[in-house]
Chain A
Amino acid sequence: MKQLVRNAFVPTLRYAVCILLLGLLVSAYSVKAHAELVQSSPAANAVLDAAPAEIRLTFTEPLEASFSQFSLRSTDGSTVNTPPSAIDPDDAYTLVMLPGALPNGVYTVSWRVVSAADGHSTAGSFPFSIGVAIGELTAVSDNLRGEIRAEAVVVRWTYLLYISLTVGGLGFVVMLWLPNNLREQVEVDGALHKTLLGAWVLLGITHVLMLALQTAISADIPLRDTFASGLIERLLTVTRFGQLWIVQLILWAAIGVILLGVPRLGNRRGFYTAAFILGVVFLLFHSLFSHASAADNEGVAVAADWLHLSATSLWFGGLALLVQVIIAARKLPNRTEFLAQLVGLFSNYARVCVVALILTGIYAAWLQVGSIDALLATHYGRALLVKLIMILPLLLIGAVNLVVTHRSLSDGKLVWTGRLQALVSTEIALIGGLIVAVGFMTSTAPARTAFVPDTPAPEPMVETASVDDLDLRLEVLPGVVGENRFSLLVTGADGLPIEDATLIRMRFNHQRQDLGESELRPTHEGAGVYSISGANLSVAGDWRVRVSVQRPNEFDAVTTFNLTIETPTLPETSTPTPNVVGAVILLLVGSLAVAFGGFFIARNWGGLLHIRNLPALSLLILGLVMIAGGAMSAV
């Protein structure tokens, strides 16, 4: 039977390795942002003689058809009645609309899309005009990438936790527990199996929550509304995320079938190996829908992300099961000897994971952060810093266990059995916290994308007027063409804020062009301030803003603000990734990965394709691919 299982799974492992190698041999370098608008027809700023036959918006990433769309807004902010936009059948990066007849005027294209690569949403708007000889217009970015949903962090954190526990626990059993005949010395199989089953169940629950979360993100609705929205079915059937999610569900179910069947099956190791391989493939599908999958060099980036996630899982899941074994071993008469052997074996296994984590982490940091400024100034970068800070004590504890604990247990010092349990429990808590940081990082845009270098805080345009017994102070932020925040401070003759205005109207008229009048009605913010946002200043030039303030039992106060609006200077939305630096990073990290991978394989030699060598072999292969990619880039 043992031979049968080996015959069944060794070819599978070889096949998986070959597939991985082929997949990794795709190379290129720079990261893309989330789906950003790169081109449009008509272009932002366009002044057309007649209505366009079609409107095309092209983005940096493929789009989820069901959750990506744009609409036209007129100068009063209302949505123009047009046919819906749709993905170009020949280009998954492009949205198209056939707007039909449009009367002359200024239109704002308002878009909101979800990337099919990483599931993140972006939005923005830009104006164009038909039949109106207006001044220069320009695009205005309104990117959502800075927003972080708290529930997203929680869901992703728990999901990563149970992935790690399930796959890492299986890895511990397959690579450490069963091959070394440790189970013959201490009876803990039942507890370990229950832990794996519990982790598997919780992984299933959080997998469903991930589906709900992605639905909420895609449709921009609260998480609690997703199950009643009817959108989940749509997400599952028509999106890339949905397809990957279904495959993961099948893998999860297969793991469950094996875990539930193990107690009734004779050869546990073979079936646990199968479940572990399914778990590793599950992780690969997770990486296929991550920040890494949005990189141009998707093959290398996804492989590195997969190895990073696998190493984390093996470390965390391994520790969770290790502490169970340590507790069970306390009753053994020769427990110091047993635990010394266990620590030695686990250290061998964990050090490969740590090296893989560090090397893939360096690559990911370069890929997703790219600069110290981005590290310090973005949510993603700061979360990464927290993660790095938490890794330091982990490494320290690992080193203590490797050197001091192992030696002390070998010398028969009983006190170190308790210390070992405490140290491992601390490691588990630290990794659990570290995964919170990872959950945060995966819920926000990569630092390289989000970081806007040297962008001064915009200064509002300020105008003042006095009418009757009121002093009015109008702030327009940023005071350029496009979306602005209008804040009106209303104070009385005594300087005290007016809090009881029942209606404030702001009516906008362009002074040179007949664009029609648009209106905003700001709402009370407190302290005499009434605010609202709107894209009413849709073109450059002189604008008249007629402001009227209605108060109970008072005459309306009416005055005029004259604003000169200019086109904004758009900041760089992402830092281009230099190929030279990328090549150096890949060559360096790749060389280290090859060196460490080769070292660990040689040190733990038991056959190249032995399941025990999977982490080191993966590291070696990833290193070779990185070197190849780096060399090609350098040439």
Chain B
Amino acid sequence: MVANKAVRFVLVGLLLMLVIVGVVSAHEHRQVEGYELVFGWEIEPAFAAQMNQITLRVNAIAEESEATEEPEGDHVEGEEHHEELMGVTGAEATLQLEVTFGDQTRSLTLRPAWRDPGYYIADIMPTRAGDYVFHLTGNINGVEVDETFDSSVDSFSTVELLEDVQFPQVLPSTLDLLARIEALEAQIAELTAGS
């Protein structure tokens, strides 16, 4: 009976987790030899125990020079420079992404977003609050990439406690519930053995 109540708590909690809180553009921008990388969470701020995604946009930086109608001598003042960003496709095959938290590391799979060239996503549900470190390696069209993104240093979100956005009641976390269930199971086991 008690166990059923706990399971209901878990289900309610999981349903609440599906609420999308908001999207902000606090992402980390890097340039790697003619390519721009934009890295961050799909949902920022990121919350623990909430489904999220790591997003990576890969743009090629193409520099165009347009001659003005009346160039003055051979000086560059007579030219206007434009940077044009073009999404790079196919990088999911050549880039690898790893996430580290504490002493644990695992690989994440990057996949291209539908109808958005150069935009890649990797599914992840951060189960604990804190600072996550991502390591992106591989190459983009032969250009080597070895970049580390750390939420305690860079401009993307630290994973926050879910209690920050829970309303009207702050629910125990899944980890807390697991601990309680384990404690209850131990009690049940004791009672069963006693009878």
A-B contacts counted at CB < 8 A amount to 36
**Stretch from B66-74, B124-132, B137-145 forming part of the interface with A:** B124-132
B101-A548 in contact (CB<8A): no
Q: Is A556 part of the binding interface, using a Cβ–Cβ cutoff of 8 Å?
A: yes
Using A548-B130, A548-B131, A558-B130 as known contacts, say yes or no to A553 and B103 having CB atoms under 8 A apart: yes
B161-A555 in contact (CB<8A): no
The CB with the most chain B CB atoms within 10 A, among A505, A554, A558, A560, is that of: A558
A550-B103 in contact (CB<8A): no
Is chain A's interface secondary structure helix, strand, loop, or mixed overall? strand
Closest to B130 in A: A556
B131-A555 in contact (CB<8A): no
B160-A556 in contact (CB<8A): no
Complex Cα gap A548–B129 (Å): 9
B152-A555 in contact (CB<8A): no
Smallest CB–CB gap between B120 and chain A, Å? 26
Complex Cα gap A503–B130 (Å): 11
Closest to B131 in A: A556
Complex Cα gap A554–B102 (Å): 4
B129-A556 in contact (CB<8A): yes
Enumerate chain B residues within 8 angstroms of A553, measured Cβ to Cβ: 102-103
Is chain B's interface secondary structure helix, strand, loop, or mixed overall? loop
B128-A555 in contact (CB<8A): yes
Q: Is A546 part of the binding interface, using a Cβ–Cβ cutoff of 8 Å?
A: yes
Closest to A550 in B: B131
B101-A550 in contact (CB<8A): no
Enumerate chain B residues within 8 angstroms of A560, measured Cβ to Cβ: 161, 163
Enumerate chain B residues within 8 angstroms of A548, measured Cβ to Cβ: 129-131, 158
B160-A555 in contact (CB<8A): no
Complex Cα gap A558–B162 (Å): 11
Complex Cα gap A307–B127 (Å): 78
Enumerate chain B residues within 8 angstroms of A555, measured Cβ to Cβ: 101-102, 128, 130
Q: How many residues of A contact B (CB 8 A)?
A: 13
A window 522-555: CB within 8 A of B: 546, 548, 550, 552-555
Q: A177-190 interface mask toward B, CB cutoff 8 Å, 1 = contact, 0 = none?
A: 00000000000000
Closest to A558 in B: B129
Complex Cα gap A262–B128 (Å): 87
Q: B12-49 interface mask toward A, CB cutoff 8 Å, 1 = contact, 0 = none?
A: 00000000000000000000000000000000000000
Enumerate chain A residues within 8 angstroms of B152, measured Cβ to Cβ: 503, 505, 550
Complex Cα gap A505–B151 (Å): 12
A546-B160 in contact (CB<8A): yes
Complex Cα gap A557–B129 (Å): 8
Closest to A556 in B: B130
Smallest CB–CB gap between A83 and chain B, Å? 29
Closest to A549 in B: B130
Smallest CB–CB gap between A168 and chain B, Å? 64
Smallest CB–CB gap between A520 and chain B, Å? 13
Complex Cα gap A42–B98 (Å): 52
Using A503-B152, A548-B129 as known contacts, say yes or no to A554 and B160 having CB atoms under 8 A apart: no
Smallest CB–CB gap between A146 and chain B, Å? 37
B101-A556 in contact (CB<8A): yes
Complex Cα gap A267–B9 (Å): 108
B window 107-124: CB within 8 A of A: none
A556-B102 in contact (CB<8A): yes
Complex Cα gap A473–B58 (Å): 44
Enumerate chain A residues within 8 angstroms of B102, measured Cβ to Cβ: 553-556
A window 473-505: CB within 8 A of B: 503, 505
Closest to B163 in A: A560
Complex Cα gap A552–B133 (Å): 13
Q: B76-99 interface mask toward A, CB cutoff 8 Å, 1 = contact, 0 = none?
A: 000000000000000000000000
Enumerate chain B residues within 8 angstroms of A550, measured Cβ to Cβ: 130-131, 152
A554-B103 in contact (CB<8A): yes
Smallest CB–CB gap between B130 and chain A, Å? 3
A558-B161 in contact (CB<8A): yes
Smallest CB–CB gap between A503 and chain B, Å? 6
Complex Cα gap A505–B153 (Å): 11
Complex Cα gap A560–B160 (Å): 10
Smallest CB–CB gap between A366 and chain B, Å? 58
Enumerate chain B residues within 8 angstroms of A556, measured Cβ to Cβ: 101-102, 128-131
A window 553-576: CB within 8 A of B: 553-558, 560
Enumerate chain A residues within 8 angstroms of B130, measured Cβ to Cβ: 548, 550, 555-558
The CB with the most chain B CB atoms within 10 A, among A503, A550, A553, A555, is that of: A555
Enumerate chain A residues within 8 angstroms of B103, measured Cβ to Cβ: 552-554
Smallest CB–CB gap between A512 and chain B, Å? 15
Smallest CB–CB gap between A408 and chain B, Å? 83
- 15 more contacts with CB within 8 A, not counting A505-B158, A548-B131, A552-B103, are A503-B131, A548-B130, A550-B130, A550-B131, A553-B103, A554-B103, A555-B102, A556-B102, A556-B129, A556-B130, A557-B130, A558-B128, A558-B130, A558-B161, A560-B161
Pairs across A and B, CB under 8 Å, 22 listed = A505-B131, A505-B152, A546-B160, A548-B130, A548-B158, A550-B130, A550-B131, A552-B103, A553-B102, A554-B102, A554-B103, A555-B128, A555-B130, A556-B101, A556-B129, A556-B130, A556-B131, A557-B130, A558-B128, A558-B129, A558-B161, A560-B161
The interface of chain B, by Cβ under 8 A from chain A, is 101-103, 128-131, 152, 158, 160-161, 163
Closest 4 CB pairs of A and B: A556-B130, A553-B103, A555-B102, A558-B129
